[in-house]
Amino acid sequence: MKVVLPDNSELELPDGSTGLDAARAIGPKLADQAVLVRSDGRVQDLRLPLQDGQQLQILTTRDTEDADALWVLRHSSAHLLAEAVRRLYPGVKIAIGPPIENGFYYDFEFPEAVSEEDLPRIEEEIRRELAEGREWRREEVSAEEARKRFEAEEEPYKVELVDTADGPISFYTQGNFTDLCRGPHLQDSRPIKAIKLTGLAGAYWRGDEKNKQLTRIYGTAFYSQEDLDAYLERIEEAKRRDHRRLGVQLDLFHLSDVSPGSPFWHPKGAVIWNQLEALRRRMNEKHGYVEVRTPLIYDSSVWVTSGHWEKYRENMFLIPEGERTYGLKPMNCPGHMLLFNSRIHSYRELPVRYAEASPLHRNELAGALHGLTRVRQVTQDDAHIFVAEDQIEDELDRVLAYVRELYAIFELEPRAELSTRPDNKAGDDELWDHSEAILERVLRTHEMQYAIGEGEGVFYGPKIDLHVTDSLGRSWQMATIQLDYHQPRQFENTFMGGDNREHTPAVIHRAVYGSFERFIGILTEHYAGAFPVWLSPVQVRVIPVGEDHRVAARRLEEALAEFRIEVDERDETVSRRIRDAELEKIPYVIVFGDKESDEALAVRKRGGVQSTLSLEGLRAEISQVATL
RNA sequence: GCCGGAGUAGCUCAGUUGGCAGAGCACUGGUUUUGUAAACCAGGUGGCGCGGGUUCGAGUCCCGCCUCCGGCUCCA
């Protein structure tokens, strides 16, 4: 048989040769360092036989940054973790332990409570294993044999995994520890040069909150100590970017016990909000939206009609008032549908695009709240577009174009996801088939890469979501585009068609920022607090050198009043005031003393670049970036 | 909501086996009049998250609750 190497040369091997055989045929050193086979983007265990004509790349311990090479290292590390835990905690039940982005985890059911204080002890045990050395042995077994084995070991989670497994079942053994595992794994533990347990958390078995909660231990591993150190340093840097920290430092907002999940916006944070709000209005005007305002609270009958009462009530704040119960709106859609019904519409008016950015309230689970990215008071840049059936695709196309135009401004690169029917869907499958197909076609015409979010849709329809990752690697949904046939029927929305008959429109729900709160949180991290000039709460700060320069500084403030400008007259040294301006990430600082005049201003840009500009030259420069 | 951790001054944190609540920054007053990332001196910083309990005595020990942090689940 022959295999094709990365340089396109061919290697002749005996039939049935494995990846390791191939590595040996090339050289003993390669065989020694080999960790994984990759062919056509797929990874394969070194112990498995190769196919005739197969493309072959052998990854080694030197591929320290290769995602697949790290993946196998961490996967094997997870097994070492399980072995250590088994030894230290007799009676522990083991569940699953996959590699994940930046590390790995293993889920356990401990016979006793375990806390983070126990991690060093477990880590020590892993180090002992590493010092002794471990080799992995692979074997294929029948389902019956696998079952018998795990029943004998009293491992109920493994038994369940065997019972639900499809395809051949394989075991990997290292030391006295054997685990059900598809692989691939390292040949031995030598490449694991750095390993660290990073945390511990509860996690439901199979991700279902109806199941038992297990204890998940997180860790990470690298091919060198330097890589681990660099990773830990990156985590520290990410923490410095965290919008919760920067929000306090930059005096943008704060959160308080008195209203969990509802930010207090400070003057500087409000500037950013208002800039985004102005941009929203301009964009909406340009794209044919009309602004509306609808009530915040509605009688429960409205929520019964919309379906929220049945599908969403546990997330709503309810207000009993005499005989009635009001619900504080978690979404704008019902209000917009009631508004649409206030008069007869002609097909000639469609699409009708109602936009509104009023605060919504969602009673999110206490443990789900997170800074600005997960709040209870949500302000979506919402709109509902009423369209005739034959306008749907064209309109979705426009919405997607709008979204891309807006995200380009911030140089955000979101990932698209098509979210399909959820378990608690309203409406029949035929309608969902139809809606999902339309969204898919639109994504294709835009040639957008997208993932499928199986069952992630809203109860009334499927959606296209855009996701952005925060500084800590958590992914957040931002923009959403939802296609809804359900609610317009429920609210009996109609328009008169060209055939002089009543028709029911479809409604496209869309939010482009997603919510102001989350968007500002993500932007803060995206820019590490150094907002572009048009968003900066303070755009220019003037620092008079001494008391004698205050008058001139104030005159400068007036001369440049079209910008957000202020004078720092504090009795502090120039150095001190510059330092403070830098910490506040103000884009322009003007130092004004004896040497300066309108013809020659000392300008310092954020980061420390200094230049001399005339007043008009400075005005021209800032004007370029102070507005969009 | 669930698992684990935490809550002390506006912020970041220290506080031994239960024995008079601390530091730096910020803030206030004074000195200084400042030239591109922290001038100097002095000073108040406080219901130790909330409510019970144990104790002669609780920031410290016990119970309940709230909030926050890391995850899980759920979502913009």
Q: What is the helix (H) or strand (E) element at residue A93, kind and residue range?
A: strand A93-94
Cβ-proximal residues to A217 (8 Å cutoff; 6+ apart), any chain: A81, A85, A105, A106, A108, A119, A122, A197, A199, A200
CA distances from A605 to A557, A578, A587 (A): 17, 11, 6
Q: Percentage of residues in chain A with pLDDT exceeding 90?
A: 65
DSSP one-letter string for A192-227 = --EEEEEEEEEEEGGG-TTSPEEEEEEEEEESSHHH
The answer to whether some atom of strand B lies closer than 7 Å to the beta carbon of A595 is: yes
Tokens matching residue A395: 């309109």
Tokens matching residue A94: 């083991």
Beta pairing, strands A352-356 & A377-387: antiparallel
- Any idea which nucleotide's C1' is nearest the CA of A465? B76
Distance A114 CA to B19 C1' (A): 34
Q: Which residues pair with A5 in a beta bridge?
A: none
Tokens matching residue A458: 């809203």
Residue A456 confidence class, pLDDT cut points 50, 70, 90 = confident
CB neighbourhood size of A222 (10 A): 24
CA distances from A463 to A410, A423, A459 (A): 23, 15, 10
Give the residue carrying structure tokens 């420069």.
A621
- Give the Cα-Cα-Cα angle A319, A322, A327 (nearest 5 degrees): 25
Size of chain A in residues: 628
CA contacts within 13 A on the Cβ side of A10:
7
> For A95-152, how does the pLDDT look when each residue is reduced to its tens digit (9 = 90+)?
999 998 889 999 999 887 788 878 888 999 999 999 999 999 999 888 889 999 999 9
What is the rounded distance in angstroms from the CA atom of residue A294 to the CA atom of residue A581? 42
Determine whether A384 is an active site residue.
Answer: yes
pLDDT, position A113 = 76
Residue A510 confidence class, pLDDT cut points 50, 70, 90 = very high
pTM of the shown model? 0.89
Distance A476 CA to B66 C1' (A): 27
Average pLDDT of A244-253? 91
Average pLDDT of A217-245? 88
pLDDT, position A15 = 86
Q: What is the helix (H) or strand (E) element at residue A12, kind and residue range?
A: strand A10-12
Average pLDDT of A501-528? 94
CB neighbourhood size of A285 (10 A): 12
Q: What is the helix (H) or strand (E) element at residue A516, kind and residue range?
A: helix A516-526
Distance A253 CA to B73 C1' (A): 28
What is the rounded distance in angstroms from the CA atom of residue A59 to the CA atom of residue A22? 12
* Set A187, A333, A353, A482: catalytic member: A333
pLDDT, position A447 = 87
Q: What is the helix (H) or strand (E) element at residue A479, kind and residue range?
A: strand A475-484
Determine whether A181 is an active site residue.
Answer: no
Strand B, nucleotides covered by protein (CB < 7 Å):
1-5, 7, 11-12, 31-39, 66-76
The amino acid occupying position A577 is R
Residue A234 has pLDDT above 90, yes or no: no
The answer to whether some atom of strand B lies closer than 7 Å to the beta carbon of A354 is: no
Average pLDDT of A185-192? 92
Torsion, Cα A518 A520 A524 A527, to 10 degrees, reads: 110
Q: Which residues pair with A291 in a beta bridge?
A: A355
Residue A3 has pLDDT above 90, yes or no: no
The answer to whether some atom of strand B lies closer than 7 Å to the beta carbon of A28 is: no
- Give the Cα-Cα-Cα angle A255, A295, A343 (nearest 5 degrees): 150
Average pLDDT of A350-354? 96
Cβ-proximal residues to A124 (8 Å cutoff; 6+ apart), any chain: none
Buried b (16+ CB within 10 A) or exposed e, A445-456: ebebebeebeeb
Residue A464 contacts residue A400 (beta carbons within 8 Å): yes
Residues 468-497 of chain A with CB under 7 A from strand B are: 472, 474, 476-478, 480
Residues 194-233 of chain A with CB under 7 A from strand B are: 199-204, 207-209, 213, 215-216
pLDDT, position A209 = 82
pLDDT, position A614 = 96
Distance A511 CA to B51 C1' (A): 43
What phi and psi, each to the nearest 5 degrees, are found at residue A101? -60, 130
Residue A472 has pLDDT above 80, yes or no: no
> For A13-22, how does the pLDDT look when each residue is reduced to its tens digit (9 = 90+)?
888 888 888 8
Residue A170 contacts residue A181 (beta carbons within 8 Å): yes
The answer to whether some atom of strand B lies closer than 7 Å to the beta carbon of A575 is: yes
Average pLDDT of A544-562? 95
Determine whether A282 is an active site residue.
Answer: no
Residue A342 confidence class, pLDDT cut points 50, 70, 90 = very high
- Any idea which nucleotide's C1' is nearest the CA of A607? B37
What is the rounded distance in angstroms from the CA atom of residue A476 to the CA atom of residue A388? 32
pLDDT, position A522 = 92
Q: Which of A288-292, A335-339, A483-487 has the lowest mean pLDDT?
A: A483-487
What is the rounded distance in angstroms from the CA atom of residue A296 to the CA atom of residue A90? 56
pLDDT, position A27 = 87
Average pLDDT of A511-539? 94
What is the rounded distance in angstroms from the CA atom of residue A332 to the CA atom of residue A315? 15
Tokens matching residue A102: 């930046």
User: Positive or negative CA dihedral for A109, A113, A119, A123?
Assistant: negative
Residue A2 contacts residue A12 (beta carbons within 8 Å): yes
Distance A583 CA to B1 C1' (A): 40
User: Positive or negative CA dihedral for A245, A246, A249, A253?
Assistant: negative
pLDDT, position A534 = 97
- Report the protein residue whose CA lies nearest the C1' of nucleotide B7: A257
* Set A79, A421, A486, A509: catalytic member: A509
Residues 40-79 of chain A with CB under 7 A from strand B are: none
The conformational region for residue A127 under phi > 0 = left, psi -120 to 50 = alpha, else beta, is alpha
- Give the Cα-Cα-Cα angle A274, A276, A282 (nearest 5 degrees): 105
> For A35-80, how does the pLDDT look when each residue is reduced to its tens digit (9 = 90+)?
999 988 888 899 988 888 888 898 989 898 888 999 999 999 999 9
| Among A296, A266, A456, CA closest to A377 | A296
Rg over CA atoms, chain A:
30
The answer to whether some atom of strand B lies closer than 7 Å to the beta carbon of A333 is: no
Distance A361 CA to B51 C1' (A): 29
CA distances from A2 to A35, A46, A54, A312 (A): 21, 16, 7, 59
CB neighbourhood size of A368 (10 A): 11
Determine whether A362 is an active site residue.
Answer: yes
Average pLDDT of A15-37? 88
Residue A328 has pLDDT above 80, yes or no: yes
Distance A572 CA to B31 C1' (A): 13
Distance A608 CA to B68 C1' (A): 36
Residue A241 confidence class, pLDDT cut points 50, 70, 90 = confident
Q: Which residues pair with A93 in a beta bridge?
A: A109
Q: Percentage of residues in chain A with pLDDT exceeding 70?
A: 100
In terms of Cβ atoms closer than 10 Å to its own Cβ (0-12, 13-18, 19+), residue A25 is: middle
Residue A202 has pLDDT above 90, yes or no: no
What is the rounded distance in angstroms from the CA atom of residue A450 to the CA atom of residue A416? 5
Cβ-proximal residues to A266 (8 Å cutoff; 6+ apart), any chain: A251, A252, A253, A254
Residue A483 confidence class, pLDDT cut points 50, 70, 90 = very high
pLDDT, position A479 = 94
Tokens matching residue A190: 């030598």
Residue A368 contacts residue A374 (beta carbons within 8 Å): yes
Residue A473 confidence class, pLDDT cut points 50, 70, 90 = confident
Distance A571 CA to B27 C1' (A): 15
* Set A118, A382, A470, A568: catalytic member: A382
Determine whether A333 is an active site residue.
Answer: yes
Mean pLDDT for chain A overall: 91
Tokens matching residue A77: 């590390």
The answer to whether some atom of strand B lies closer than 7 Å to the beta carbon of A95 is: no
